[in-house]
């Protein structure tokens, strides 16, 4: 584990009340799963809303988190990741989705996976967020019809603490995939819109690596990841970013 990555970082939330405020905002929007990473040791991270607990492989949980009093997960970019077993709550045909996290990305000239439940070699692709070697970020959704997947891409991201929300609803905005950084929709390139349900698969959900857990290991901090079965509104995304202290 790099000493740089293991060190404690500056406070994002200045008080316990602000920390609770962020969690309250997330829980008010009924996520399918939500991992606060409040654990400071051990090999399990708890799902705050269900039974989708994750197993930690190498990631350091003893890092000052977005709450300012709790912890985040720090990943060394070599072999650290967290895996959540496939479950019904995470594996259903979806017509809308939001993926959310607080992050401190550091691509280091290589592609780095932030969140993955994606089968690139099959038809049931589902979803993935990847930080590219260029610093740009891809949000990808997969389906069983047409081109097989749709993708949105940000401009290169800076290496600092940011709130990320990726959302999509097949019945809104022409099925466009949308990415919000610190509560604001970013400019991005879009390969295609998606007006079919995204296709479920039986892969585990990975935080910090690809489907096979053998490549594209994330480097940097991830905190408070959440998955929703609906598209958060712009107002709710902004409220989350404001509660995180970055908007």
Neighbour tally for 32: CB within 10 Å: 20
Residue 5 confidence (pLDDT) above 90: no
Compute the mean pLDDT over every residue in the chain, rounded to the nearest whole number: 85
Q: Return the half-sphere exposure (C-beta side, CA atoms, 13 A cut-off) of residue 113.
A: 26
> pLDDT digit string (tens) for 161-203?
899 999 999 999 999 999 999 999 997 788 878 888 887 888 8
Q: How confident is the model at residue 221 (pLDDT cuts 50, 70, 90)?
A: very high
Residue 228: domain span? 3-243
211-232 average pLDDT score: 91
Confidence of residue 148 (pLDDT cuts 50, 70, 90): low
Q: CA 141, CA 139: separation in Å to the nearest integer?
A: 7
Q: Is the pLDDT of residue 37 over 50?
A: yes
Choose the most confident range, by mean pLDDT, from 22-36, 80-94, 128-142. 22-36
pTM equals 0.89
Confidence of residue 66 (pLDDT cuts 50, 70, 90): low
Q: Does the structure show a pLDDT above 90 at 212?
A: no
Spatial CA neighbour of 228 closest among 25, 23, 21, 29: 29
SS3 224: strand
The tokens for 83 are 């895996």
Q: Which residues contact 54 (CB under 8 A, 6 or more apart)?
A: 35, 44, 45, 47, 82, 83, 84, 205, 207
Residue 10 has pLDDT above 50, yes or no: no
Show Cβ contacts of residue 167 under 8 Å, excluding neighbours closer than 6 positions: 96, 97, 98, 99, 177, 178, 180, 231, 232, 237
Q: How confident is the model at residue 145 (pLDDT cuts 50, 70, 90)?
A: low
Alpha helices in the chain (DSSP H): 3-6, 16-28, 234-243
CATH number, position 66:
2.60.120.200
Question: What sign results for the dihedral spanned by CA atoms 170, 131, 45, 43?
Answer: positive
Q: How many domains does the chain have?
A: 1
Burial of 109 (0-12, 13-18, 19+ CB in 10 A): exposed
C-alpha closest to that of 94 among 200, 195, 177, 166: 200
What is the rounded distance in angstroms from the CA atom of residue 182 to the CA atom of residue 122? 33
Give tens-digit pLDDT for 78-131. 999 999 999 988 887 889 999 999 998 887 888 999 999 977 655 556 889 999
Least confident of 64-73, 93-102, 136-145, 215-224: 64-73
Query: What does the pLDDT read at residue 193?
Result: 84
Q: Quick one: pLDDT at residue 125?
A: 66
CA distance 237 to 242: 9
Q: What is the pLDDT of residue 142?
A: 83
């Amino acid at each position: 584990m790099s000493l740089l990555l293991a060190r404690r970082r500056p406070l994002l939330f200045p008080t316990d009340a602000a920390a609770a405020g962020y969690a309250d905002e997330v829980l008010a929007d009924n996520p399918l799963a939500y991992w606060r990473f409040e654990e400071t040791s051990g090999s399990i991270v708890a799902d705050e809303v269900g039974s989708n607990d994750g197993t930690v492989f190498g990631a350091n949980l003893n890092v000052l988190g977005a709450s300012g009093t709790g912890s985040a997960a720090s990943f060394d970019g070599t072999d650290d990741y967290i895996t959540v077993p496939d479950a019904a709550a995470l594996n259903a045909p979806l017509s809308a989705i939001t993926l959310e996290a607080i992050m401190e990305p550091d691509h280091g000239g290589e592609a780095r996976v932030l969140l993955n439940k994606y089968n690139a070699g099959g038809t049931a692709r589902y979803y993935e967020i990847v930080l590219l070697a260029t610093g740009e970020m891809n949000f990808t959704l997969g389906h069983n019809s047409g081109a097989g997947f749709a993708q949105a891409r940000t401009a290169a991201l800076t290496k600092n603490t940011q709130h990320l929300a990726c959302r999509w609803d097949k019945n809104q905005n022409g099925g466009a995939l949308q990415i919000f950084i610190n509560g604001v929709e970013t400019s991005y390139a879009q390969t295609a819109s998606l007006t079919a349900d995204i296709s479920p698969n039986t892969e585990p959900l990975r935080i910090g690596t690809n489907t096979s857990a053998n490549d594209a290991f994330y480097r940097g901090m991830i905190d408070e990841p959440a998955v929703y079965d609906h598209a958060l509104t712009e107002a709710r995304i902004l409220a989350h970013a404001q509660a995180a202290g970055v908007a």
